[in-house]
């Protein structure tokens, strides 16, 4: 079973202002591009076997420098996409927080479905299936980088740690942070969570 390095993409002009979701055309801004280069520098010593990314531009632009530093092809995987927020995509957080459904997102997490988009449960199943498929293509203890999105990473952690679905609300995943999941035959364990790349030790987790 492999070791998954789940990496959130870098900064873009939607960050903290609007819900980007699966909306195309959201690119890294100047600071995000610098973050992507710093990420590649910090993680260059880790012997990754493969680098995967969500197909969304902000994820690809974060992953590409790392793949190049590692001398690996960048592999795109639709399962690593952000949650499809449907009609909420592109709207400001200040507007969304005034909607009645915003409270339901927290109160009825298990059954909540974004208007015109995915349910949280379906998004979690999609991300978990993608990571399981990626894991199945690699050997035991291979180190795999997967560049994805905040909610997708939080949902992956709650899945593999058998947390309640609503538990993802209590998790925080920062820009260009690294979360390390060690997948095992019986269970997965969390080797690192929401770490700045510079804080990681460049060795295989035990």
Does residue 5 surpass a pLDDT of 90?
A: yes
What CATH class is the domain 3-199?
alpha beta
Q: Which residue has the higher pLDDT, 199 or 62?
A: 62
pLDDT of residue 140: 84
- In the predicted model, is pLDDT for residue 205 greater than 50? no
At 160-204, the pLDDT tens digits run 999 999 999 999 999 999 999 999 878 899 999 999 887 665 444
Nearest to 126 by CA among 180, 166, 82: 82
Q: pTM value? A: 0.94
Residues found in the chain = 206
Give the whole-angstrom CA distance, residue 52 versus residue 72: 10
At residue 206, the pLDDT reads 38
Percent helix / strand / coil, the chain, rounded to 5: 40, 20, 40
The larger pLDDT score, comparing residue 64 to residue 205, is at 64
- pLDDT tens digit sequence for 113-133: 999 999 999 999 999 999 999
In this prediction, residues 44-71 reach a mean pLDDT of 97
Sign of CA dihedral 139, 192, 36, 96: positive
The mean pLDDT of 69-84, rounded to a whole number, is 97
- Return the higher-pLDDT residue of 57 and 141: 57
């Amino acid at each position: 079973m492999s070791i998954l390095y789940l990496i959130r993409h870098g900064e873009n002009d939607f960050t903290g202002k609007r819900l980007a979701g699966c909306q195309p055309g959201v690119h890294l801004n100047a600071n995000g591009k610098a973050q992507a280069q710093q990420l590649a520098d910090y993680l260059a010593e880790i012997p990754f076997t493969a680098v995967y990314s969500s197909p969304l531009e902000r994820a690809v632009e974060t992953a590409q420098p790392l793949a190049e530093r590692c001398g690996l092809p960048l592999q795109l995987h639709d399962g690593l996409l952000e949650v499809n927020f449907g009609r909420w995509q592109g709207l400001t957080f200040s507007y969304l927080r005034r909607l009645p459904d915003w409270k339901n997102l927290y109160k009825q997490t298990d059954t909540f479905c974004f208007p015109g988009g995915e349910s949280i449960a379906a998004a979690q199943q999609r991300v978990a299936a993608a990571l399981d498929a990626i894991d199945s293509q690699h050997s035991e203890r291979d180190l795999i980088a997967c560049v994805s999105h905040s909610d997708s990473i939080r949902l992956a952690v709650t899945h593999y740690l058998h947390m309640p679905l609503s538990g993802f609300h209590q998790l925080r995943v920062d820009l260009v942070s690294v979360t390390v999941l060690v997948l095992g035959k019986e269970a997965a364990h969390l080797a690192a969570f929401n770490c700045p790349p510079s804080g990681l030790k460049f060795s295989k987790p035990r």
